[in-house]
Structure 1
């Protein structure tokens, strides 16, 4: 078991834990919760021995094998499956033992190494690794692609698959759902429910925690408190505990006041001096109960919009995608005919890469529409939360500078003290208002973007994964604020609790289009499952068709062996031939676009790498460095778009080839 006893832990000058106690039993699935910055990741660092306790005792079984998701972005051209396989540390040790035995030409050691390889499951290791990757959303065409051909979010999925591949006794997961869409998240839940070791999870997704944990550890004010139950149970128990503590505090305050009154009244009287002194000692011995502190709870609200255009937006045959410098634009979503009305609460669903963010960016004017039209209602005011907060923030500027620039655009009469007070509502106080944004945590950047949106008084909110870096308390505050908002909300999120609480209708972005999804989130999860089954059936049918082809050739070569072939079988073959012809025709333009993308990537990737390397040149002026930085950002975004489309095309071509 894991035991912390009177433990003190520092992270630099900050005390993370002080006199903390905790016991975790083998096989327990534990959710670690607390505010951003409370020290949850520091506790993980203690468990993995990257940090040492400053005082107290800490013990963990020495033979336990630990796995965690590495936070670094891997830079390697190693095939993806091979990269994930390296997470199986027992397999790596067995392979190293075999290599050493073969190098020493030791027959006995070679035999033992082969036995060890069989014991650790070397012969089905690759299929196991690929099953993890497919579950996390990778397509079959991507399984052996180089790791550095993937964008950042997909590389983090590879790191997650690598951690799951490890045959661990203790699994540490720090925000594992941040880069997952709903189908991959549901698959991960099912996998973790079957995991047999001890597991600690840091997550701000309450439904995820409810599904996989049975113990909750709350880190607050340098103390660890254990609760038996998942996150919802923890909330109820903590509320009851806080209520009892508040009542006990009130009773103790009455007792303290009574003792103090006696002391004050009789301490100068000789006849009562002894009794007064005993009251003083009783007051000193009393173990003080702390009041329940709620002042730190975060809450905000969106201001009432000045007006509500009707309709807010009208899209007619709109096409979304990316313009390509020196080439034809790439369309991701096409032929969108939809309107957005006042007061709607729209959740935008769809797998990663289908175009959800592209649609939102186009509506937010961050990308121009590639075709069709987008008509905005008179007086439309958009509040846009970008998935990557730094798309709307400047790293070297502080929160106050951001607010001053914003105020000059939307409210020139605002005074600096008014802006400072406003930032204080979002937990930016003191010198923190001048701290460069680049040094802020993900949660702090998200709060700053929310503050800037609130100040603009929008009537249409376009929110692209707003909860990625928010703690649970801030997510609750956002949910309440959105429900009270009088304007329209369009929300992209993998946070099911937020989608359930805020949205009353859903749009589905899939297969290059946008349509209304008739159902709720549970229906969507069932739809995802059915889609997966249909895809599996299609692949199986295609495989059967491929294996049946030689038999058909043999039958036509030797008709005497099949003189009475049924007509419907001949019709089936004719239909299959027509289907293969149609598939080949459909694949032709896809292959042409695939080839163009490969050519563009072949020139764009070296250019990006050269630009990145040139930024370290000390002779560059500030203006030159800024210009190259902007060019690098634009080029990186284009490459990520190219890569996503390249992978989509590869998958589509592979699927069509299976029927050709």
Structure 2
């Protein structure tokens, strides 16, 4: 159990927590939410002993192992798998104990160290590490590549995999989805749902929080408030609480006004002076409830485009890729699509398939390697780069960026006009001259949004625009995009934003771009099917390898020359063969029995899924029932996947035993 009692925490002169208390139970999955700058990361630093409280107590069980994602960029030539393996602190401690025992030639200590290694799962540690890497989007060829060969975003994925590798009782994840695309996010979501320890997540992805957390911890006005439920439940409960608080405040204001009116009317009358004085004291004693003062919500809107060419873009056998020292590297080819005015297109695809490459080609950041892109007359593109620094200058301030932009698209803009405009995006006072390189991720993202708004584009190309945006800013972006009169093309792992903005999807997969006929739920099911097929293929490959290994001696024997047909087996040989078959049947019986049980379970789950889907399609269910049915369908999908994988494992084991007996 984690207990914070009357905690006061300061960062410099800023008070982050003031007499805050909360209790978290073992195994709870907690979403830590609050506006940017409220102190969420400082609370993590307090839990990991990087910060000490100015007052109060923090109690975490001493025996607990803790894991968090390191925020520093790793610099090492170590292979990726080895880097991730070092996250398993228990395994590393056992290996160090063995090395020390061997150096001391202490046989007893060696035996103890080997026992520790067995407990730490030394024999399957490397496959477990590689499974984490591949789940987070690394390919089989990348799992042993040097860490330094990866870009910054991929190195942060390595840090995440390293944290997940730790057998932790308490896991702290600060914005773990920032560098993930949608397929890796779906995988991480499923992994965290299975995690059995205590989990605290800072995230601005509402669907991610809803899928994983069952407790929400709200950090606001230096206090911690615990809510039972996921983020959606928290929003509803907090709204209700704010309504009640506002009602209590207004009721108190009425009471205070009534008292003040009596005092003003009768304080000068001797006959009423005593009653008036008592009311003065009552007014002074009355607890003054604070009005509901919430941080001002951030909002903005895109300006009306000057023109709306239709079509905006036409692709004719376009090939996208990049230049290398060896020549051109084509990632996507044969694009034949049109982009019309007013379309809202979500671009889907697994990591590495070329989504960002396509967007950069449309944004004129890199040239097409083949085919032709025809732009509509008057096309004005607004591009939000996944890496904001692709379009920002680190040594200049926001005002300098806007002055330069205004010279290009609005020569008549005055400096005060630009300052006022930046103020709408929360750049006030001296912040307008602060070097961009020293701004936070969220501030850089808001600056890019400000520059997009100023340009009055008619085509918005947004590549992961929400990576550093808090929930309020994401809501503001969603509203602004829905009111935008031009065309939107969006790459994002934020499913809430994709659902709210996009009405059609393109899928970038296997080197081509085509329409995806379905919604995001269909896409997630498609991802799971792809994952299942990959797992099945891996199992088949392992099975074939086992068969090949088991049959090697038989091949050698069969290759020896024989001069005559083999004699009929003797009675003793037949008896031995029968005993071997009986032994094999006994060995495989439990596996075959479990496979039969899994078959029955698969049939039952499939029937239930069909019935639930029919019920949803009937149109007779209430919104509450739809939510319950959706949750049950997700559970069924997870159970089906687990059962099918187990059936494949058992089948491979049975085949291997038969192969060894042949």
When residues 43 and 112 of structure 1 are mapped into structure 2, their CA distance, relative to the original with a 3 A threshold, is same
The 5 Å alignment of 1:32-181 reads: 32-181=32-181
Deviation string 1:138-183 (CA, Å, 9 cap, x unpaired) is: 2222222222222222221111111111111110000111111222
Q: Which residue of 2 aligns with 1:335?
A: 334
Matched, 1:397 2:396: yes
When residues 295 and 176 of structure 1 are mapped into structure 2, their CA distance, relative to the original with a 3 A threshold, is closer
439-448 or 84-93: bigger deviation: 84-93
303-312 or 11-20: bigger deviation: 11-20
**For residues 355 and 508 of structure 1, what CA distance do their matches in structure 2 show?**
10
The 5 Å alignment of 1:509-658 reads: 509-542=508-541, 547=547
Deviation string 1:96-131 (CA, Å, 9 cap, x unpaired) is: 222222222222222222222222222222222222
Q: Which residue of 1 aligns with 2:284?
A: 284
Instruction: Using structure 1 for the length normalisation, give the TM-score.
Output: 0.81
Deviation string 1:524-544 (CA, Å, 9 cap, x unpaired) is: 111112222333344444556
When residues 327 and 526 of structure 1 are mapped into structure 2, their CA distance, relative to the original with a 3 A threshold, is same
Shift of 1:342: 0.7
**For residues 295 and 39 of structure 1, what CA distance do their matches in structure 2 show?**
15
Q: Which residue of 2 aligns with 1:311?
A: 311
**For residues 394 and 521 of structure 2, what CA distance do their matches in structure 1 show?**
40
**For residues 177 and 346 of structure 2, what CA distance do their matches in structure 1 show?**
18
**For residues 425 and 537 of structure 2, what CA distance do their matches in structure 1 show?**
51
When residues 211 and 257 of structure 1 are mapped into structure 2, their CA distance, relative to the original with a 3 A threshold, is same
When residues 558 and 492 of structure 1 are mapped into structure 2, their CA distance, relative to the original with a 3 A threshold, is farther
Shift of 1:63: 2.1
- Which runs of 5 or more residues in structure 1 are unaligned? 563-660
The 5 Å alignment of 1:384-423 reads: 384-423=383-422
550-559 or 519-528: bigger deviation: 550-559
Deviation string 1:14-51 (CA, Å, 9 cap, x unpaired) is: 21111212111111110001111111101000000101
**For residues 411 and 404 of structure 1, what CA distance do their matches in structure 2 show?**
9
Shift of 1:556: 9.6
Shift of 1:277: 2.6
Deviation string 1:487-507 (CA, Å, 9 cap, x unpaired) is: 110000011111111111111
Deviation string 1:625-660 (CA, Å, 9 cap, x unpaired) is: xxxxxxxxxxxxxxxxxxxxxxxxxxxxxxxxxxxx
Deviation string 1:230-273 (CA, Å, 9 cap, x unpaired) is: 00000111111111111111111111211222223333434333
**For residues 490 and 268 of structure 1, what CA distance do their matches in structure 2 show?**
72
When residues 541 and 87 of structure 1 are mapped into structure 2, their CA distance, relative to the original with a 3 A threshold, is closer
When residues 515 and 561 of structure 1 are mapped into structure 2, their CA distance, relative to the original with a 3 A threshold, is farther
When residues 542 and 314 of structure 1 are mapped into structure 2, their CA distance, relative to the original with a 3 A threshold, is same
Secondary structure of the corresponding residue to residue 141 of structure 1: coil
**For residues 317 and 218 of structure 1, what CA distance do their matches in structure 2 show?**
51
**For residues 163 and 302 of structure 2, what CA distance do their matches in structure 1 show?**
40
Q: Which residue of 2 aligns with 1:483?
A: 482
Aligned residues: 561
Tell me if structure 2 keeps the 8 A contact 1:555–1:561: no
Q: Which residue of 1 aligns with 2:460?
A: 461
**For residues 316 and 557 of structure 2, what CA distance do their matches in structure 1 show?**
54
Tell me if structure 1 keeps the 8 A contact 2:341–2:487: yes
Shift of 1:478: 0.6
Q: Which residue of 1 aligns with 2:361?
A: 362
When residues 201 and 295 of structure 1 are mapped into structure 2, their CA distance, relative to the original with a 3 A threshold, is closer
When residues 541 and 198 of structure 1 are mapped into structure 2, their CA distance, relative to the original with a 3 A threshold, is closer
**For residues 197 and 561 of structure 1, what CA distance do their matches in structure 2 show?**
64
When residues 463 and 553 of structure 1 are mapped into structure 2, their CA distance, relative to the original with a 3 A threshold, is farther
77-86 or 310-319: bigger deviation: 77-86
When residues 406 and 313 of structure 1 are mapped into structure 2, their CA distance, relative to the original with a 3 A threshold, is same
- Which runs of 5 or more residues in structure 2 are unaligned? 567-662
Q: Which residue of 2 aligns with 1:494?
A: 493
Tell me if structure 1 keeps the 8 A contact 2:183–2:351: no
Matched, 1:470 2:469: yes
Tell me if structure 1 keeps the 8 A contact 2:346–2:498: yes
Secondary structure of the corresponding residue to residue 16 of structure 2: strand
Q: Which residue of 2 aligns with 1:351?
A: 350
Secondary structure of the corresponding residue to residue 142 of structure 1: coil
**For residues 46 and 340 of structure 2, what CA distance do their matches in structure 1 show?**
51
**For residues 212 and 555 of structure 2, what CA distance do their matches in structure 1 show?**
51
273-282 or 438-447: bigger deviation: 273-282
Secondary structure of the corresponding residue to residue 336 of structure 2: strand
The 5 Å alignment of 1:137-286 reads: 137-286=137-286
Q: CA RMSD in A?
A: 2.1
Tell me if structure 2 keeps the 8 A contact 1:68–1:171: yes
Secondary structure of the corresponding residue to residue 77 of structure 1: coil
When residues 425 and 240 of structure 1 are mapped into structure 2, their CA distance, relative to the original with a 3 A threshold, is same
Tell me if structure 2 keeps the 8 A contact 1:86–1:162: yes
